[in-house]
Amino acid sequence: MSFLRLLLRDRFVWFVLIGLALFVGEWALQKRQDKVIYIDLPLVEKLVTQWQSQTKSAPAPHQLDALIEGYIREEILVREAERLGLDDQDVIIRRRLAQKVEFFLGDAAAPEPPTEADLRAFFEIQKQRYSTPETVSFRHIFIASQADAQTLLATANDENWRSLGQPFMLNREYARLSQTDLLQLMGSQFSDALFADGPTGQWLGPVRSAFGWHVVNITSRSAASLAPFETMVEKLANDWHAEKAAQAKQKAWQDIRASYRIEMAPIEDAPQ
């Protein structure tokens, strides 16, 4: 008893006991709060706003009850997932969190509306985006061999061409295709041949495609053209805003990236 009495008189012992009691009390309070879900007015207003943005109408009382109960269910499941450590090293969750931060990076303050000078400068730099490429319209007759195509070329005309040649899996007549379109459709040899300088309104060939040989009649050509600035103002403004938003997002990422220090762990030589 004398030893116990001695311990109780020791201030350090009391300091340790009081500290331990505070720690246990804080731990117990925290555990208790982990089981409490607060439903306040800002939360309810947020749920109502989300509902209205999707349905364009205010929720009825029973619908609001369902929204709140849905939130409670989600919150409980999220906390249980965290308690079980299910969020650790989960690839899908990591990617989703990264996507959300990417969204915030792009949510920078909107730039001031562009002036006409801004749009004209943007138009000059991005002319290629607003130009219409050269196109060709043509008819063709498909044949399996080059020799047969050469023979068919002598008999083809505008009246009988649909009855000549062999069946073809694609169309036999096309209008206003660009060289890129034609390259994807028929292959490089065919597109190069049709976009080389040549006459229109005549049957030409044989021309090789990815499918075989063809006799071709280029019915018309349309030269490349640039849309007038005045007709593109609205599209230019939208594209200008998109460009500025992308630049702001990239700048925000660079600022965040610069705030981190990357250290590479030494890689030990693999055993021989």
Domain count, the chain: 2
Q: At what angle do helices 11-34 and 2-9 cross, to 10 degrees?
A: 70
| Residue 234 near residue 95 (C-beta atoms within 8 A) | no
> Is 134 a domain residue?
yes
Could you tell me the CATH number of the domain that includes residue 146? 3.10.50.40
User: pTM, whole model, 2 decimals?
Assistant: 0.47
Q: What is the pLDDT of residues 71-126, one digit of tens each?
A: 888 888 887 777 777 766 677 877 887 887 777 776 665 677 888 888 888 888 88
**Assigned domain for 74 exists:** no
10 Å Cβ neighbour count for 131?
12
Does residue 122 lie in a domain region? no
Q: Is residue 171 part of a domain?
A: yes
Considering the domain boundaries, does residue 263 fall inside one?
no
What integer pLDDT is reported at residue 267 of this predicted model?
61
Residues 22-48 have pLDDT tens digits of 655 555 555 554 567 888 888 888 888
Structural domain includes residue 194: yes
b/e sequence 143-158, b meaning 16+ C-beta within 10 Å: beeeebbeebbeebee
Interval 50-65: pLDDT, tens:
888 888 888 888 888 8
The rounded distance, in Å, linking the Cα atoms of 196 and 173 is 19
Position 270 in a domain: no
Largest CA distance in the chain: 127
Distances (CA, A) of 99 to 92, 96, 103, 106, 247: 11, 5, 6, 11, 18
In a domain, 118, yes or no: no
Question: How far apart (Å, rounded) are the C-alpha atoms in residues 43 and 74?
Answer: 14
Residue span of the structural domain in which 18 resides: 2-34
